[in-house]
Amino acid sequence: MTDPTRPDEPIVPPATIGMLGGGQLGKYALSAANAMGYRTLVVDPDPDAPAAVVTNEHVVTSYDDPDALDRLASKCSVVTTEFENAPASALESLSMRTRVAPSAHAVAIAQDRLVEKAFMVAHGIAVGPHAPAPANIGDEQRRAAHALAHDGAVIKTARLGYDGKGQRRVTGVEELDAVLAEFADTDCIVESLLDLRCEVSVIIARTADGASTHWDVAENIHVDGILDVSIVPARIDPTLAARAVDLATSIVEGLDYVGVLTVEMFVVDDDRLLVNEVAPRPHNSGHWTLDASVTSQFEQQIRAVCNVGLGATDMTAPAVAMVNLLGDLWFPDGAVTAVEPDWSVALADPAATLHLYGKTEPRPARKMGHLTVTAPTADAAEHRALELRALVTR
């Protein structure tokens, strides 16, 4: 078993890697771990969690179950997570007995938008205009929120919101107050709506000894708060892309982060970069690395938390695009009963790779899989990926 006070000691196969969370991100990371010769143990309350089919052991229970934490601590040389809402208290408890990466401290910052924004401001990282709106909001805080709402704002719950959940747009003070009343018992943050040129993300990996590497910047398009398309390389000026990488590097170092970290940013009209939020894990916008990078973000997560050296992140194609496959595809034209899409056209395209996550129940807005397409240019990759997604719908 590893000594948690020696985070730079390499962890090599056949050591056991533990993971809190068994979604598709965990499935890909543990598949990479298995291919490298590691054993794996997952804790996830869902008996049908996607990662259950690739792990050596799946403990079906809550993430903070004391018996499960004891099992992780006794069997695993390192414990990591595949989503930001794993209880930081559980990670802190585990860190007393085995290595944990990323740290409970870093995860706790990313779990709370109020804390995350405060971290950015304290470290001189540019963010958009915002105002805290805690459950016990005071008069001064409400006035600051009102000032943002005049030109349009989005209200986000401080915790547990993702993929558009826990978010509401407002167009004035009255709407803002109505939503705050609805969220009266919830800490929130109010953010000004921005005039965006585009959204980008930087995925960066860092080891305990401070080595880091990153992939090409991704350009991201969201629909209803959910990532729809990622295009790599981003269609932005190379100087701007380099600045995005520098921002991500400063954040990963400021957090003393170990593992794969994703930094989502807004590009505004005057070529300023504003950090939106961070994700302490591999990210949907990095799924393309499975098919168009020397090392995927998932293998890199394992390499980083085990401190065995980071892999090369060079692209293996000139350009790539990824489109998400949401559960809506299973319900064409308002169908009540799910209909399996026709995957044959996507499978027949040699430039395309289909990924389905193995989730048993398709639902609207649920991420069921993704489709990756490589091409000579970013525009061509995006066009073909969108075309193929349209064609699979029956």
Summarised one tens digit per residue, pLDDT across range 230-272 is: 999 999 999 999 999 999 999 999 999 999 999 999 999 878 9
Q: How far apart are CA 324 and CA 285, in angstroms?
A: 10
pLDDT band for 161, please (50, 70, 90 cuts).
low
361 — alpha (psi -120 to 50), left (phi > 0) or beta?
beta
Q: Structurally, how many domains does the chain consist of?
A: 3
Q: Are residues 44 and 161 in the same domain?
A: no
**Are residue 83 and residue 223 in the same domain, yes or no?**
no
The domain spanning residue 326 has which CATH number?
A: 3.30.470.20
Q: If you search the block for the tokens 């069921």, which residue do you land on?
A: 368
pLDDT higher than 90, residue 315:
yes
Q: What angle do CA 353, 24, 260 make, to 5 degrees?
A: 95
User: Which tokens hold the place of 384?
Assistant: 């073909």
Averaged pLDDT for residues 180-192:
90
- 178, part of any domain: yes
Q: What is the mean pLDDT of the chain?
A: 94
User: Of how many residues is the chain composed?
Assistant: 394
In 3-state terms, what secondary structure has residue 321?
strand
- The pLDDT assigned to 150 comes to 84
CA-based nearest residue to 188, from 221, 163, 153, 223: 153
| Residue 133 structural domain | 129-192
Report residue 183's pLDDT band, with 50, 70 and 90 as the boundaries.
confident
Residue 314 covered by a domain? yes
Clarify whether residues 350 and 288 are in a common domain: yes
What does the pLDDT read at residue 354?
98
pLDDT at position 164:
57
CB-based contact 184:135 (threshold 8 Å): yes
> pLDDT by residue (tens digit) across 199-235?
999 999 999 999 999 999 999 999 988 999 999 999 9
- Integer Cα distance of 159 and 317 in angstroms: 37
Domain-embedded: residue 117: no
Place 283 in a pLDDT band, splitting at 50, 70 and 90.
Answer: very high
Residues 212 and 268 in one domain: yes
For residue 172, the model assigns a pLDDT of 87
Tell whether 326 is covered by a domain: yes
- Reported as a single tens digit per residue, the pLDDT across 357-391 is 999 899 999 999 999 999 999 999 999 999 999 99
d(CA 278, CA 121): 14
The answer to the question of residue 6 being in a domain is no
Contact 249, 204 (CB under 8 A): yes
Contact (Cβ atoms closer than 8 angstroms) between residue 332 and residue 393 = yes
CATH label of the domain that carries residue 24? 3.40.50.20
Q: Where are the alpha helices (DSSP H) in the chain?
A: 24-36, 66-75, 88-95, 104-111, 113-122, 139-149, 173-182, 238-254, 289-292, 297-306, 344-348, 378-392
pLDDT digits (tens, 9 = 90+) for 4-56: 767 789 999 999 999 999 999 999 999 999 999 999 999 999 999 999 999 99
